[in-house]
Homo-oligomer: A and B are copies of this chain.
Amino acid sequence: MSDDLASLVTAIARRARAASLLLATAPTAAKDAALAKLADLIDGAQAALLAANARDLASPEAADQPAAARERLTLTPAKLAHLAQSVRAVIALPDPIGTELEAWTRPNGLRIRKLRVPIGVIGIIYESRPNVTVDCAILCLKSGNACILRGGRESFHTNTALAALIAQALTAAQLPADAVQLIPTTDRAALTTLLRLDTLIHCIIPRGGESLIRYVTQNSTIPVIKHYTGVCFVYVDRDADAGLAEKILLNAKVQRPGVCNAAEQLLVHAAVADTLLPRLAAALLANNVRLRCDPASAAILARAQLAHTAATPADFTTEFLDLILAVRVVDSLDAAIALINRDGSAHTDAIVTRDPAAAARFQAEVDSAVVLWNASTRFNDGFEFGFGAEIGISTDRLHARGPMGLRELCTYKYVVDGTGQVRG
């Protein structure tokens, strides 16, 4: 059984590798034709997709899910229409492949060009949301990468139905159907085998909770690009505009508290904490945010008779993903930078200040993927950056950092033209 599974997964990876070599040089028009066909197929197959989804929702695995997870798992006609639209949106994006990134000529006459090319075969390991099947497949396709999809047990039938449409769209556009393959089992042993096929698969992107990402990282010999969650800070400097601070902090905390670029931590400079913190706290409390305070901020809020609780040490490094904010008073810009570099997750951090020198120091010394001055942390996002698509927000430093669009799914090769040069 285990041998059979290993053969099955290895055969899928071999076919993906072969398909990737064809897809790497496929014309943009063919890739876009497959995308157009897929969008039409999704529109035309609503009933079948909803039926597959109903089977998943009726399964014991789905019944065990909390309400929020069941909601993510559930397809609706509106969600499917949105999915088809997101496929069409990728047609409009420029093809990243073939771009000349650099070119130069050496003294010996060798002409060197650095060209953007696909990575090759990408494995996507994900959990409940079936739209990931399509989201990841279309971004890999447009960037010329073959992909192997391994979804969750609770969305197996939906994923299978979507994968069949993708294969049909690829074939219609005369592209290899093996360029997008779904692992036809959710057996953990199949995943473990997949994660060791480092001669056939070039990159693994896990999309899901921390335990999934950790399992993948610890078991993969293939390079992994991680999308861990964010412990994001807003630092209100001594020279902050009060209105701007309130507006940015509220947006960062409450506009969508369950995502990785929402603020979890507030630092306020001691010189303005007495006046600013009560105003900020009142605005947060009016939006149902609970405040977990260090002694200095607790004393200020107590004097102002504003609700708060004492923070535990763990609160200062926690990603709450909820309407909770940890609050501290700091004595200086230096202290703020040091705390963020110590307690944060190097994801997204913002300073609110009128002082350009303070902003410049913050942005240079805070060691995070995105460092903002007078703007909400919520802008660390592929769409907000203008990438037109997003496969995730990388928390790694190698290859891609921050929002990952089509270009971040590419690598490069060096094309060298000579006239008989040899080394002496």
Contact = CB atoms under 8 A, between A and B. Distances in A.
Contact of A373 (B21, B247, B416): B416
A394 to B, nearest CB: 10
B21 A397 contact: no
A77 interface: no
A376 interface: yes
A374 B25 contact: no
B251 A423 contact: yes
A345 to B, nearest CB: 9
A103 to B, nearest CB: 12
Interface string A195-225: 0001000110000000000000110010111
B401 A412 contact: yes
Contacts of A104: 386
Interface stretch (A35-43, A52-60, A278-286, A361-369): A361-369
Contact of A371 (B223, B396, B411, B415): B415
B414 A112 contact: no
A223 B378 CA distance: 27
Chain A binding site: helix, strand, loop or mixed by DSSP? mixed
A422 B250 CA distance: 9
A399 B399 contact: yes
Contacts of A24: 365, 367
A341 B21 contact: yes
Given A399-B398, A401-B411, A413-B401, A423 B384 contact: yes
A396 B204 CA distance: 13
A419 interface: yes
B374 A402 contact: no
A211 to B, nearest CB: 14
Contact of A398 (B364, B398, B415, B421): B398
Interface residues of A, number: 68
A26 to B, nearest CB: 11
A7 interface: no
A203 to B, nearest CB: 6
A198 B213 CA distance: 13
Contacts of A415: 363, 371, 373
B379 A423 contact: yes
A418 interface: yes
A397 B25 contact: no
A112 B385 CA distance: 8
A249 to B, nearest CB: 10
A106 interface: yes
Nearest to A261: B423
30 contacts: A104-B386, A112-B386, A119-B397, A202-B397, A217-B221, A223-B396, A248-B420, A255-B422, A369-B413, A370-B414, A371-B416, A372-B416, A372-B417, A372-B418, A373-B416, A373-B418, A374-B417, A374-B418, A376-B418, A376-B421, A379-B416, A379-B421, A380-B414, A384-B423, A397-B411, A398-B398, A398-B411, A399-B399, A401-B411, A401-B414
Interface of A: 21, 24-25, 104, 106, 110, 112, 117, 119-120, 198, 202-203, 217-218, 221, 223-225, 241, 244, 247-248, 250-252, 255-256, 341, 359, 363-365, 367-376, 378-380, 384-386, 396-399, 401-402, 411-423
The 6 closest A-B pairs by CB, nearest first: A375-B418, A251-B422, A398-B399, A399-B399, A378-B423, A397-B411
Given A374-B419, A401-B412, 20 more contacts: A21-B341, A21-B367, A24-B367, A106-B384, A202-B397, A223-B397, A223-B398, A248-B422, A255-B422, A369-B414, A370-B413, A371-B414, A371-B415, A372-B418, A375-B422, A376-B423, A379-B418, A401-B411, A401-B413, A401-B414
